[in-house]
Chains A and B, each alone.
Chain A
Amino acid sequence: MTPLNGCLLISALLFSIGLGGALTRRSAILVLIGIELMLNAANLNFIAFWRYGPHPEAMTGVLFVIFSIAIAAAEAAVGLALIVSIYRHAKTTDLSRLDSMKG
C-alpha cells in the first residue's frame, strides 16, 4: 500500500459516499452536498497524483485543483439559486415530487 494508493482509496471512498448520498436522499440540497463531496474527492485525487507523480515542480495538479475549486464555487452558487427558485415555485425541495419532466 503505497501512499498514493492510500490517497486514491480515500478519494474513492469519499466519491462513493457522495454518490450514495446523492442517489439516496430526497432533498435537493443534500444531493448538492453529495455532489460537492464528489468534486472534493476528485480534487484529492489530483493532489495525490501531483504529490506522488513525476514532475511535481510543474505544479500542474495544484493549478488544476485551484481552478476546480473556483468552478465548484460557481456551480454551488448557481445550483443553490436554482433550488431556491424551484422552492419558490413548487413549495418543496423533495426530489421525488419534482417529476414534471417525466416522459
Chain B
Amino acid sequence: MAWIVQYLWLIPVLPAAAAALIAFAKRSQRRLAATLAIGSLGVSLALALIAFVHALAHPAMEYVNFQWLQFGSEWIKFGWMLDPLTAVMLVMVTFVGLLIFIFSVGYMNHDENFTRFFCFLSLFAGAMLGVVIANNLLLLFMCWEVVGLTSYLLIGFWFHKPEAAAAAKKAFIVTRIGDLGLFLGMMWLYHLSGTLLFYDNGLGCLEHSAVAALATRAAALGLTAASGIGLLVFCGAAGKSGQVPLHVWLPDAMEGPTPVSALIHAATMVAAGVFLIARMYPLIAATPNGGVSAALEVIAWVGAITALFAACIAVAQNDIKRILAYSTVSQLGYMMLGLAVGGVAVGMFHLITHAFFKALLFLGAGSIIHGCSEEQNIRYMGGLRKLMPVTFATYAIAMLALCGFPLFAGFWSKDEILNSAHLWSVASAPFYMGAAGAFLTAFYMTRQVCYVFFGQRRPAPHSAAKPVHESPAVMTWPLIILSIFAALLGFVGTPAWPWFQAFVEGHALTFSLGAFAENGTVPLMVVSTIIVIVGIGIGWWLYGREPIAHSDEPDALERLQPAIFRALGQRLYVDELYNLTILAFAHLCARVFDWTDRWVWNGAVHLVAIGTKTVARFDSLLDAHAINAGFDTGCESFSVSGRLLSRLQNGRSQNYLRVLGVALVVLVLLLFWGRKG
C-alpha cells in the first residue's frame, strides 16, 4: 500500500494538533497561532495533493482499518479510505481552507481574540478532514459532532453579543435535531448489518452483500431497510446542510465573523451533509429491482423545495451576508437535488464549484464589510465599484459563476443538475422548481450587486461618512486566486470532457464534442442561458437602471408588490412558526418539569427530612425520659439501698454484738450440719 494511504491520517491530525498547541498559546502570540494554523493546513494541502495524484493513478478505492474498541469478543474497527470522492474533497477543503485562513489574518487583525479564532479554525479543519476520510460511520459521526461543535464556537465567537450567542445556540440545537435522525439511522444500520465500516473486504456496510441484504429487507411504511436508513441519515444531512425545514439556523449563523461564514457555512461544513449522502449513496440508492429508491425521491423533493424556497426569501433581504446565506441554502438544495436525480458525480460537481465561488462571494463580502467599517446593510452601501475595484472584479466573477452564466463554473455544474432533473423518471416538477430557482438566483444576485457596487454612495445616517478603502493585499490575493477557479473550474466537468464525473464515478474518460448532441443537452443549455439572462436583465431593469439615490427610498420590488416583499423579507415567518409550536412546547415541558421538581422531588426530600427530624425528636424524648430516667432510677435505688444499709451502722455497739451473736449461732450450726452431713 502506498505510503500516502498509510499516512492519510496525518491530513486531519495535523490541523487538530495545531489547534491543541494554539490552545496553550497566550493571547498575545498571534504570529505563532497564525503560523501554526496556516502551516499545518498547508502541509495537509500538500499531502492532499499527493493523495489526489495517487488517486488519479489508482482510481480503485484503498482503505486502512484498525481495531479501536473491544467489547466482548467483538471489535469496533475504525479506518480511513482514499478514493476519488475522498481525494477531490480533501483537495477542496484544504485549498479553500488555506485561502480563507490567509484571508483571516488580515480580516481578524483588529480583533483581540485572534489566537482563539485560529485555534477554533484549525480544530474545524481537522474535524472536517476527518469526516472526509472516515471509513466508519461512527468515526464520521464523531468528527461530524466536532464540526458542529466548532461551528457553535465560531458562530458565537463574539459571544458578548446576545444575537451571536443566540445564533450559536440555535445552530447547535437545530443541527442536533437532524443528528438525532442520523444517530437512529446509524444504530439501525449497525443492528441490521453488524458493522459500521463502509468498506472492509466485502464485509462493510456499503459493500455489495450488505447493501443487497438491506435493499431487499422490508421496513415500515412500505420502505426497504436501505431506504429507511437512508432517510434517517438524510435527516442528519438535512440539518447540517440547511434543507427546509431545518434551514433556520444558517441565516442566523451569519452573526459569526465573515471568514467563518465563508469557510464553514459556504464551502465546507454545510457541504458535509451533501458529502455524507454522496458517501452513503450505494446504500441510499439501493433498490431490490432497479428504479429510484424512496429515499432518493424524498431527497430530490426536499432539495428542490429548498432551492426554490430559499431563493424566494433571498430576493427581499437587505443584509449582504443574509442574501448570501439564503443563496447557500438554495444552492445546497440544488446539490441534494443533483445527488438524488443525477448521482454522486452531479451533486459533487456542484458542491466543488459552489465551494469556490461561494467562498469567494463571502470573502468579497468580508472585504466590503471591512472596507465599509463593519457596515452590513446593502442599503447603506453603493458606488463601491470605483472605490474597491479588485473586490468588485472578483465579486462580479463569483456572482456570474453563481448565477450560472455561460462558461463560468456554476454554469456547467448547475446545468448538469438541471439536465438530470429534466431526465428524471419520477417527476418533472423538480426540474421546473430548479429552473425557477435559477431565475431567482440571477435576479437577487443582480439586485445585490447593483445595490452594493453601483449607484451613489449612501452611507448610513447614523455613522459618519468614513472613507472607503480597498482591502490590504493579504485579503485581496485569496480573492483573486479563488476567482480564477470560479471562472475556470467548470471546464473539468463539461459534457464534452467529463473528467470530474469519470474520475468520481470510475468511468472511462472520452473527449467527444458529440456528447453535446445527446439527451437534449444543448437545448437545455440554451434554456438555462436564457433564464439567466432574463433574470439578470430584470434585475438590472429594476435596480441597475435607476439605482436608488437615498437609503430611505423603498426597494423597487417593494413598490411593486409590497405585501409579498414584506412576507419574503420576514423570511416567510418560518422562525415565528417554530416559536409558536416547538419552542412553546419546550417551554411547557420545562414548566411541567419545574413543577415536578419543586413539588414532587423536593416534597419527597422534605418528607424524608421531616421523617428524620421526627425520629430524632422521638429519640431525644426516649433518651431524656426512658434511658435517662432509667439510669437515674438505677442510681437512686443505689443510694436508697446505701442509705438503708447504712442504718445497720447505727453506732451502737450492742447492735453489733447482737449481729455477732447471731452470726456465731449460724456458723456453728453450719459447721455441725456440714459435719453431720
Contacts and interface: CB of A to CB of B under 8 A. Distances in A.
Interface of A: 19, 22-24, 26, 31, 95-96, 98-103
A11 B646 CA distance: 36
A22 B654 contact: yes
Nearest to A97: B652
Given A19-B661, A23-B661, A31 B654 contact: yes
Contacts of A101: 649, 651
Given A19-B661, A23-B658, A23-B661, A103 B649 contact: yes
A83 B589 CA distance: 106
A31 B658 CA distance: 12
A23 B657 contact: yes
Q: Interface on chain B toward A: helix, strand, loop, or mixed SS? A: helix
Contacts of B653: 31, 95, 98
A98 B655 CA distance: 12
A99 B661 contact: no
Closest 7 CB pairs of A and B: A99-B651, A102-B651, A103-B649, A101-B651, A102-B650, A103-B646, A99-B652
A61 B270 CA distance: 135
Nearest to A98: B651
20 contacts: A19-B657, A19-B661, A23-B654, A23-B657, A23-B658, A23-B661, A24-B654, A31-B653, A31-B654, A95-B652, A95-B653, A96-B654, A98-B651, A98-B653, A99-B652, A102-B649, A102-B650, A102-B652, A103-B646, A103-B649
A73 to B, nearest CB: 22
Given A19-B661, A23-B661, A99 B654 contact: no
A98 to B, nearest CB: 7
Nearest to B652: A99
A12 to B, nearest CB: 11
A8 to B, nearest CB: 14
B646 A22 contact: no
A13 to B, nearest CB: 15
A99 B661 CA distance: 20
A23 to B, nearest CB: 5
Contact of B650 (A23, A26, A31, A99): A99
Contacts of A22: 654, 657
Contacts of B649: 101-103
A51 B37 CA distance: 136
Nearest to A25: B654
A100 B654 contact: no
A98 B653 CA distance: 9
Contacts of A95: 652-654
A19 B646 CA distance: 25
A3 B275 CA distance: 142
Nearest to A101: B651
B661 A96 contact: no
Interface in B622-677: 646, 649-654, 657-658, 661
Interface in B304-349: none
A86 B651 CA distance: 15
A99 B651 CA distance: 4
A70 to B, nearest CB: 24
B339 to A, nearest CB: 113
A102 B652 CA distance: 7
A23 B651 CA distance: 14
B41 to A, nearest CB: 105
A60 to B, nearest CB: 24
Nearest to B647: A102
Contacts of B650: 99, 102
A31 B653 CA distance: 10
Given A22-B657, A24-B654, A95-B653, 13 more contacts: A19-B661, A23-B661, A26-B654, A31-B653, A95-B652, A96-B652, A98-B651, A98-B652, A99-B650, A100-B651, A102-B649, A102-B652, A103-B646
A19 B658 CA distance: 9
A63 B653 CA distance: 32
